[in-house]
Amino acid sequence: MHSLSISSRLGTSLSVFAKGQGQKIILLHGFPLDHRMWLPAAEILSINFHVIIPELRGFGQSTLPESQYSIADLADDVEQVRHHLASNEQVIVCGLSMGGYVALEYQARHGQHLQHLVLSNTKPNLDTLQARQGRLKMAQCATEQGSWAAASGMLENLVCATVQDNQPETVDLVKRMIREADGHSVAMAQRAMADRRDFEPLLSAIHIPTLVLAGDEDTICPCMATETWTQKLPNARFSCLAGVGHLAPLEAPIDFCSALSAALAS
């Protein structure tokens, strides 16, 4: 895996990890995580793909701009990365959860560069009022007390019970990513997610081939709800992975990559 840094229009820098050769696939991480959540899947995918993992603003080594950004800004960052590394090639964009919100914006803003969309453990619809208020509360807590105080409570919803019992190293890595996330970056990401666009009414207009992946132990984006909205996509496949929670590619990288490779090959 090699790393590079791409300067953005705002004078900030985007950190990017890359490995492998072949068709380019851009992997977008969830909240409040960084490129490390993709490493096990990237090892497998890089056998056949050129894997590109940007870190979203303020996470990992990517720097945070001073003013509030939107999910659309993050999609434009992804396009900057694609342009830098893929010139005029079309790419596959695969986003998990918050990364899925960015991937949906990417197809809306830069769909001409997209060969295939992969939406993992995510949703197109807006938050309930209560969930939105929870985000703003977490943003305030993260600013005042840091990422661990704000977001450690997410842990049991990110990693499923099966993995919590059997894969302590996975749980440790997720804890480390939450602890090492910058409080201001956590706050800005929560505010950006609170104001994201509602893609549910727009799903029927997405004709790009799309794979939707869920985990049967994911309590944040449950399988049944995910399958229901997938049916509104005109050109989509759905797969629900067994024994997997919200972080499918980290919890079960082999199953995740098999489902992804099968869908992309068909």
Residues that bind ligand MLT (CB under 6 A): 30-31, 97-98, 193, 220, 246
CB of 2 to ligand MLT, least distance (A): 25
Nearer to ligand MLT, 31 or 106 (CB): 31
Q: How many CA atoms lie within 13 A of 261 on its CB side?
A: 16
- Min dist CB 265 to ligand MLT, Å, is 27
In the complex, minimum distance from the CB of residue 224 to ligand MLT, in angstroms, rounded to a whole number: 18
The one-letter amino acid at 249? P
Handedness of CA 130, 147, 69, 76 (dihedral sign): negative
Nearer to ligand MLT, 25 or 177 (CB): 177
Judged by CB, which is closer to ligand MLT: 187, or 193?
Answer: 193
In what side-by-side order are the strands of the sheet with 114-120? Answer: 2-7, 13-19, 49-54, 23-28, 91-96, 114-120, 210-215, 236-241
Q: Give the C-alpha separation, 266 to 44, whole Å.
A: 19
Q: Which is nearer to ligand MLT, 4 or 154 (CB)?
A: 154
Question: Whole-number minimum distance, CB 193 to ligand MLT, in Å?
Answer: 5
In whole angstroms, give the CA distance from residue 213 to residue 105.
18
Nearest approach, Cβ of residue 154 and ligand MLT (Å): 7
Q: Kindly state the smallest distance separating residue 7's Cβ from ligand MLT, in Å.
A: 26
**Residue 49 vs 101, nearer CB to ligand MLT:** 101
Those residues whose C-beta lies under 8 Å from the C-beta of residue 24, and which sit 6 or more positions away, are 49, 50, 52, 82, 85, 86, 89, 91, 92
Q: Kindly tell me which of 45 and 181 has the beta carbon lying closer to ligand MLT.
A: 181
| Centroid of chain to Cα 66 | 23
Q: Smaller CB distance to ligand MLT: residue 85 or 173?
A: 173
Which ranges of the chain does DSSP label H, i.e. alpha helix? 39-45, 71-86, 98-110, 129-145, 147-151, 155-158, 161-166, 168-180, 183-194, 223-230, 248-251, 253-265
Least distance CB 212 / ligand MLT (angstroms):
15
